[in-house]
Amino acid sequence: MTRFAMTETALIERLRSLKSKPEMTINLVDIFGPLAALNFSQDEAGAVLRALEQDGIISFTTGNRIRINKPLPA
């Protein structure tokens, strides 16, 4: 498994633990802190978030938040 795939898995699990669903916004601090504790860098998490944005699953909003647009991938 690549480092990107490992980061993606950890990030999706974190979003699920926050009970993320479409129309919900989440503060990036609630994502980056726990991922840093798992030894993932902010750059790695950011790369995964940008990929999810390209897929239309999330969008970046004001105030360091993301908005969930679609259900999270399986």
**For the chain, what is the domain count?**
1
Indicate whether 73 belongs to any domain.
no
Burial per residue of 4-26, b for 16 or more beta-carbon CB atoms within 10 angstroms, e otherwise: eeebbebbbebbeeeebeeeeeb
pLDDT digits (tens, 9 = 90+) for 3-44: 999 999 999 999 999 999 999 999 999 999 999 999 999 999
Whether 50 is in a domain gets the answer yes
Is residue 51 in some structural domain?
yes
Q: Tell me the CATH number at 8.
A: 1.10.10
Q: pTM of the prediction?
A: 0.93
The pair of three-digit structure tokens given for residue 4, joined into one six-digit string: 């990107």
Would you put residue 63 in left (φ > 0), alpha (ψ -120 to 50) or beta? left
The whole-number pLDDT of residue 64 equals: 95
* Segments forming the whole domain that contains residue 61: 3-68
In a domain, 21, yes or no: yes
Q: Is residue 74 part of a domain?
A: no
